[in-house]
Amino acid sequence: MQGMNLENKKSSFLPFRLAALAVLLSGLGVTAVRAQDDNNSLPHLVVQDGRHALIVDGAPFLILGAQCHNSSGWPAMLPKVWPAIDFLHANTLEIPVYWEQFEPEPDQFDPSVVDTVIQQAREHNVRLVLLWFGTWKNGSSHYLPLWMKSEPDKYPRILGRTGHRVDSPSPHAPATLAADIHAFSALMRHLKAADPQHTVILVQVENEPGSWNTIRDYSPEAQKLFNEPVPVELLKAMGTNAPAVDGNWSEVFGPNADEYFHAWSVARYIGQVAAAGKAEYPLPMYVNAALRDPMTPGPAGTYESGGATDNVLWIWKVAAPAIDVLAPDIYQNDSARYRKVLELYSRPDNALLVPETGSSPEQARMCFAALGRGTIGWSPFGLDYTKYANEPLGAPRVTEDSLAPVALDYKILGPIMREVARLNFEGKLQAVAEEKNEVTQTLDFGNWQAVVSYGVSRNGSPKGNAESIGRALIAKTGENEFLVTGAFCRVDFKPVPGGQRDFLRVEEGGYENGTWHSFYIWNGDETDWGLDFSSAPQVLRVSLGTY
Ligand code: DGJ
């Protein structure tokens, strides 16, 4: 394939200036709230009262995603990707863009693969999250183009404490940073020209950046910076915890110095790559993180260091303001830990986004736990038919059976995706996932309580499902009116002022262009014991009264 130079003159026309202003404002932490925007506006994030929305085509959008395997972002592999995406009813595919492919020779860019992916996504009516496999991929630099790999002194890896080379790129290498900025800017510039309809809605900058097997870089260049005063911006972010006098990293951070220094260095680097990309085309951008244990983390060095782990989110926010979201890759099987991660990453200054997670039946229900925390997107990893077995993180074989639990989430949520995203942004929605030993969950809606129970039949008492796979979503759409859906659970309501609940009307239906259409009315067995959801995707509009 003939390389193509995408370098072209930067235009100084008004939209570019407005885009630059938007980058500047987002860098200052200023986010305008425009939940309903004009249809052609750029995808962007909004925040209001600590809740977040990803605005796509002028309205809140919920990513019901699937990430393909690492080596599936090639035209030869796409025929094995789309059938899985279609079967899942996913509305978004997360797919890598490989630096080694995009810039096969210095300054020669090949956008053909990206163009093919975009074209096919449109044919499948699916949005894209592009994953820039650039300087970092899982802490290493294996996606650097060959011409960079052949010059390891110019594009170096870091040194461990004892002076040995570690298989992780240096965040202190000006040539690597310049090259990444150059390539990523070319990608964003190309997207701006090639994607006026915003098939690409979000960009991940690098992949699980940081380093394994060392806490930081101990090269002479890194050591010099480590011995210099901690940057003023970081001290400011510490507020009253900042020391009275400036000090170097060890003096200010004591035993955390190595870890914090690496987080700062990696975040600073990636923040510059993202800012340069946004100057070309300001799509929202995020960084995904390999997590530390959210409950019993253990010492630094036992998890990937330098990435956006929960203890250094504050450093990342200061060092990389062009990164909109710090996003956890959640592979925890233990639901208490899964929930803790959701809690740690959903903050007024950080929209919750789960760009990678497992897809087992029990993990599939955690989509609803994430919704309960206001997530803007949820996306299991490795969901394509390329035959790569991602054990133990994923299923031994990806088949329709192994995809079914996630497909159920998306069959339920897909048709109401816009309403769910909007109601969540407005703070009217609650969603829950079943928990072992918690067979009933009660949700407070002011004048009504919603009661979700699991493993219940007719007038029996709840026993929980054999596997914890229940999930429910309830949104208050009027004083006595609710949107209700779920799977493997029963939903009922209790009037808080007292009296007995009366189902005035229970309609199964769906939305079309924001307008509710009723298919038919539930009554008799379907409502006498409560509203029972099985494995069928059903959405109800419920009007309540009392007697
Ligand atoms: C997390 C990474 O971000 C993914 O690219 C992939 O390597 C998975 N781990 C493991 O399959």
* The pLDDT value given to residue 436: 93
For ligand 1, mutation pick of 68, 131, 207 (most atoms within 8 Å of CB): 207
* Cα-to-centroid distance, 478 and ligand 1 (Å): 42
The pLDDT of residue 27: 40
Amino acid at 59: A
Compute how many other C-beta atoms are within 10 angstroms of the C-beta atom of residue 326: 26
Residue 356 CB less than 6 A away from ligand 1 = yes
- The per-residue pLDDT for 388 is 82
310 lines ligand 1 (CB under 6 A): no
Q: Can you give the length of the chain in residues? A: 547
User: How far, in Å, CA of 487 to CA of 414, rounded?
Assistant: 14
Classify residue 302 by burial, with Cβ atoms within 10 Å: 0-12, 13-18, 19+.
Answer: exposed
Bridge-based pairing of strands 501-512 and 539-546 is: antiparallel
Cα of 52 vs its chain's centroid, Å: 12
Q: Which residue is it, tokens 């929980």?
A: 464
Q: Indicate whether residue 335 lines ligand 1 (CB < 6 A).
A: no
Q: Is 335 helix (H, G, I), strand (E, B) or coil?
A: helix
Beta bridge partners of 59: 56
Beta bridge partners of 132: 97, 205
The rounded Cα 306 to chain-centroid distance in angstroms is 19
Residue 193 pLDDT: 98
Q: What is the pLDDT of residue 39?
A: 65
Residue 300 CA to ligand 1 centre (angstroms): 21
Ligand 1 atom nearest the C-alpha of 390 is 11
Token pair, residue 289, equals 């993180």
Q: How far apart are CA 282 and CA 22, in angstroms?
A: 8
**What is the tally of helices (H) and strands (E) in the chain?**
17, 23
- In tens digits, the chain (547 residues) has pLDDT values of 333 433 333 333 333 333 444 444 444 333 444 445 566 799 999 999 999 999 999 999 999 999 999 999 999 999 999 999 999 999 999 999 999 999 999 999 999 999 999 999 999 999 999 999 999 999 999 999 999 999 999 999 999 999 999 999 999 999 999 999 999 999 999 999 999 999 999 999 999 999 999 999 999 999 999 999 999 999 999 998 888 878 999 999 999 999 999 999 999 999 999 999 999 999 999 999 999 999 999 999 999 999 999 999 999 999 999 999 999 999 988 999 999 999 999 999 999 999 999 999 999 999 999 999 999 999 999 999 998 877 788 788 899 999 999 999 999 999 999 999 999 999 999 999 999 989 999 999 999 999 999 999 888 999 999 999 999 999 999 999 999 999 999 999 999 999 999 999 999 999 998 999 999 999 999 999 999 999 999 999 999 999 9
What spacing in Å lies between the alpha carbon of 452 and ligand 1's midpoint? 34
Residue bearing the CA closest to ligand 1, atom 6? 70
> How confident is the model at residue 396, as a pLDDT?
84
In terms of pTM, does the model score above 0.95? no
For residues 324 and 284, the answer to whether their CB atoms sit within 8 Å is yes
Measured in Å, residue 206 CA sits from the centre of ligand 1 at: 12
